[in-house]
Amino acid sequence: MAHPDLNLLVVLDVLLREQSVARAAKKLRLSPSAMSRALARLRKTTRDPLLVQAGRVLVPSPRAQELREQVARLVLEVETVLSPTEPLELKRLVRTFALRTSEGFVENFGPALLAEVARDAPGVQLRFLPKLDKDSGPLRDGTVDLETGVIEDDTWPELRSQALFEDQLVCAVRAGHALSRGTVTAARYAAAEHIGISRRMLERGPIDAALATLALTRQLPVIVGGFSTALALARRSDLLATVPLRHSGNLLEGLHTFPLPVTLPGMRVSMLWHPRLDSDAAHRWLRACVRNAAKFE
């Protein structure tokens, strides 16, 4: 049995990323004709067209889409094996890390994280990207280095994760609100006007399911996409916001808070990253910084 040409893995990785014979050829410093011949060999080896002409561009076949992540990981592993290991010198490290988090995480844990990063590695820049959905695709394609959030059933199983802290929901109203006095029962809670919080603008969630078991429903005159927006509204209105306690942190200052009068499971906030960064020394340091910041009270 003939051994496959492993050099074709590098070619395939670049072709799948560039989706252009000309750009891939330039990246690998080959002629366009040599790259075309390599693509022909790849098609013969895999028995798949891999990249198909669609107008003036090339698009990946279903088989190519399946291979993209595996090929990128294999090439990275080979490069890691063949590269000499050098000790990490944080003071000389120049690198930008993209972190996808919620606004609340940045507002509460960002200052401690930035202070540690500035002290250890002044040449490092952090870019906080908004977390608009649960899609962890940016971790897979490398546009995001680290993400924080609650791991759910649809989180990609190949991602690495580490728990940061446990959180629980609390209710927040402005000072002087009717619910700032006396015991708040589930019935009093449900009777208030609420701010719904959902990135996908969903009207019902776990809180409503818990209330339904008590034959109660709540009114949602407004739905917002994040906790900080909800708390800003609650501060200047008679609306009630139900938010995670630790995640909201100093945003709760000046507001009256009380326990959620229905039982819900706690939330575990974790950080997630792609396995290709597992052994990256700088990324390991960044993960330690995030862990330290999340412990900051």
Separation of alpha carbons 255 and 240, rounded Å: 10
Pairing mode of beta strands 193-197, 219-224: parallel
CB of 107 closer than 8 Å to CB of 249:
yes
CB of 11 closer than 8 Å to CB of 22:
no
Q: Is it the case that residue 85 has pLDDT exceeding 70?
A: no
As to burial, measured by CB atoms within 10 angstroms (0-12 exposed, 13-18 middle, 19+ buried), residue 264 is middle
Predicted model pTM: 0.66
Strands (E), 198-297: 219-224, 240-244, 255-259, 267-273
Specify the pLDDT at position 1: 43
Q: Is it the case that residue 32 has pLDDT exceeding 70?
A: yes
> Hey, what are 241's tokens?
């916001």
Q: Is it the case that residue 5 has pLDDT exceeding 70?
A: yes
Residue 111, C-beta contacts closer than 8 angstroms, at least 6 positions apart: none
Which of the four pLDDT bands, split at 50, 70 and 90, describes residue 198? confident
Any bridge partners for residue 98, and if so which?
127
For the chain, what percent of residues have pLDDT higher than 70? Answer: 95
**What amino acid is encoded at 291 in this protein?**
R
Specify the pLDDT at position 153: 57
Specify the pLDDT at position 84: 61
Q: Rounded mean pLDDT of the chain?
A: 89
CB of 119 closer than 8 Å to CB of 134:
no
Q: Is it the case that residue 174 has pLDDT exceeding 90?
A: yes
> Hey, what are 164's tokens?
């940061």
Greatest CA span in the chain, whole angstroms? 80
68 to each of 7, 8, 86, 177, 218, how far by Cα in Å? 16, 13, 29, 55, 46
- Higher-pLDDT residue of 136 and 176 is 176
Domains and CATH numbers, the chain: 7-82 (1.10.10.10), 90-167+268-295 (3.40.190.10), 169-265 (3.40.190.10)
Which of the four pLDDT bands, split at 50, 70 and 90, describes residue 224? very high
Specify the pLDDT at position 115: 96
Specify the pLDDT at position 118: 97
Q: Is it the case that residue 170 has pLDDT exceeding 70?
A: yes
Separation of alpha carbons 44 and 67, rounded Å: 15
Residue 268, φ and ψ in degrees, nearest 5: -105, 115
User: Out of 71-80, 137-146, 172-181, which region has the weakest mean confidence (pLDDT)?
Assistant: 71-80
* Helices 227-235 & 103-120 angle (0-180, nearest 10): 120
Q: Is it the case that residue 83 has pLDDT exceeding 70?
A: no
Specify the pLDDT at position 233: 97
User: Out of 179-183, 221-225, 275-279, which region has the weakest mean confidence (pLDDT)?
Assistant: 275-279
DSSP line for 83-140: SPP----GGG--EEEEEEE-HHHHHHHHHHHHHHHHHH-TTEEEEEEE--SS--HHHH
253 to each of 123, 231, 235, how far by Cα in Å? 34, 10, 10
Q: Is it the case that residue 82 has pLDDT exceeding 80?
A: no
Residue with tokens 């399911």: 209
Specify the pLDDT at position 156: 63
Specify the pLDDT at position 201: 81
